Amino acid sequence: MPEIMPIIQISMVEGRSDEQIRALIRGVTQAAVDAIGAPIDTVKVIVTEVKPSHWGSGEQTIAEKRNS
């Protein structure tokens, strides 16, 4: 079997602590190891945080929804 080197990209609204982001990376990495047998050191996780004013849902930004 060829070496599995998954890259997992997560986009979310900013606001979580470094500890929460670290826990997310740990959990997602472990899920990839469990689900597809990827060697743990080959799993790459990229977390991109987006400002609430730069993320839309419907016709409003998340910032607008939070303020309403």
List Cα–Cα distances, 11 to 14, 23, 49, in angstroms. Answer: 9, 15, 6
Give the residue among 49, 50, 32 at the shortest CA–CA distance from 41.
Answer: 32
* Of 2, 6, 39, 52, catalytic: 6
Is 52 one of the annotated active-site residues of the chain? no
d(CA 47, CA 50): 10
Which are the catalytic amino acids? 6
